[in-house]
Structure 1
């Protein structure tokens, strides 16, 4: 295994460009599992679980709450769970340490905003499905995203009986309707100018890496997440000097034969893998 780690480290150190693709498996390595009815979910969202019957954070995101007061109680609690007074996790610190001196770009479907928390600059980050700390008009009446840290934190700290006070519910400054968290939970998700700019930056980075030593570093991306996996595999196939490196666990590791010769797969705990690589660095 050490030889495989050494090979991964060499590829990263020799790369002209690195594209990091991250999904739920990376969050799981930090201790956050948005699809699981685990002890962490029950400890932090047990009252919602009992009242509404949903069994995971992701189910809570799409639940049809009977009122805005109850809806914001959940989303502000989720914000607090992901971010409030949070230190950067050892997992994210190690990932940043691994690539901070390299030419890199991050594409992620995670909504926990942990990349910016860890110091990854926004101009090198494309959050495909938004993140939990931004707000938008629930009807998309205008194409703008707003920072929500202050109001989300206030709502999280002022909940009673599973509701937030009506006066704290954020309203759209244009139409006066309620806002919603800027995560892709319905068809109202705004692909605003900042989203488009991030998407274009991602495409430009890939274009500039053409013909160079490109590493596609995939972290915890499940087989169903084709938004990240499919482009990574296609690029590996098309780019002569590309290397596809994937970290995953629990049977999620998959490398098709067509790119096997240009790929490295490590089946294991992502937290442990990143820790090992940083120590070897």
Structure 2
């Protein structure tokens, strides 16, 4: 069985560490999209529409913008602003703090930065709950939304917000939306492109070195961003190591088994 001591040794021996993080990491840290959290905050979405978790409810075709933003403002608040950094993320930082590291993540909850990870070593490639964009992008700009979100949450009544609080694009006046990759309208702003460039440069700089790819809680819903590239880069570099820790499906292909560790267990147990 793969042990915590082996994980620490692999990190210490590596020239560079790349953390690839998916939803499973935040789940292990204590974020809950369904269950009690959902029922405590969105029971009406279950009673009226049958939804049982925040992710599914987010795809609901709301009748009005007032109802839509009552839901989304509270959802963003719960997953982006209500809590500080989770302890699991703080412990993960301690493991790599003295290493040459980089993080690529599909998570949009900002936990890495809240925990103290260097923001120049982070690539949030699926967006950020903390940003709005124009719903029909008239520019490649995004906008910090904390002030918007807090005002909306404070004034929710009967599962609606006042019409005056519906967020509008400052350039064209259209209703804004969340900066989350869900279709081809996702805005990749200058911050996104700068982060991608830094990530690409990091990978290039370390491509033949003893690089450790540490994949945490990445499933198969969007494997093309983290999982498959990590496997491919491990295959192309005999000095690389690949660790996949995931409670559901820590798959490792035969081609890199001798360079890999597959751990089907709770991430919390190892970090």
Fold match (TM-score > 0.5): yes
Distance in 2, Cα, partners of 1:83 & 1:181: 12
Is 1:92–1:115's contact at 8 Å kept on the other side of the alignment?
Answer: yes
Greater shift, 201-210 or 191-200, is seen at 191-200
Distance in 2, Cα, partners of 1:188 & 1:163: 25
Is 2:30–2:86's contact at 8 Å kept on the other side of the alignment?
Answer: no
- Displacement of 1:33 in angstroms is 4.0
Q: Does 1:15 align with 2:48?
A: no
Distance in 2, Cα, partners of 1:232 & 1:33: 27
Secondary structure, counterpart of 1:186 in structure 2: coil
- Displacement of 1:172 in angstroms is 0.5
Is 1:136–1:181's contact at 8 Å kept on the other side of the alignment?
Answer: yes
1:108-147 deviation line (CA, Å, top 9, x unaligned): 1112111111112321111121011111111101110111
Greater shift, 113-122 or 175-184, is seen at 113-122
Gaps of 5+ in 2: none
1:38-70 deviation line (CA, Å, top 9, x unaligned): 222222222222233323222222222111111
1:223-234 map, 5 Å: 223-226=220-223, 227-234=225-232
Is 1:249–1:269's contact at 8 Å kept on the other side of the alignment?
Answer: yes
Which of 79, 104, 108 is the aligned partner of 1:107?
104
Is 1:29–1:269's contact at 8 Å kept on the other side of the alignment?
Answer: yes
Q: Does 1:168 align with 2:142?
A: no
Q: Does 1:257 align with 2:258?
A: no
* Moved segments of 4+, more than 4 Å: none
TM-score, normalised by the number of residues in structure 2: 0.94
Is 2:24–2:246's contact at 8 Å kept on the other side of the alignment?
Answer: yes
Q: Which residue does the alignment assign to 2:5?
A: 6
Is 1:61–1:185's contact at 8 Å kept on the other side of the alignment?
Answer: no
Secondary structure, counterpart of 1:83 in structure 2: helix
Q: Which residue does the alignment assign to 1:30?
A: 29
Q: Which residue does the alignment assign to 1:207?
A: 204
Is 2:142–2:179's contact at 8 Å kept on the other side of the alignment?
Answer: yes
Is 2:122–2:195's contact at 8 Å kept on the other side of the alignment?
Answer: yes
Gaps of 5+ in 1: 275-281
TM-score, normalised by the number of residues in structure 1: 0.91
Q: Which residue does the alignment assign to 1:41?
A: 38
- Displacement of 1:74 in angstroms is 1.3
Is 1:216–1:232's contact at 8 Å kept on the other side of the alignment?
Answer: yes
Is 1:246–1:266's contact at 8 Å kept on the other side of the alignment?
Answer: yes
Is 2:3–2:270's contact at 8 Å kept on the other side of the alignment?
Answer: no
1:191-206 map, 5 Å: 191-206=188-203
Secondary structure, counterpart of 2:62 in structure 1: coil
- Displacement of 1:240 in angstroms is 1.9
Secondary structure, counterpart of 2:73 in structure 1: helix
Q: Does 1:147 align with 2:153?
A: no
Secondary structure, counterpart of 1:198 in structure 2: helix
Secondary structure, counterpart of 1:217 in structure 2: strand
Q: Which residue does the alignment assign to 2:243?
A: 245
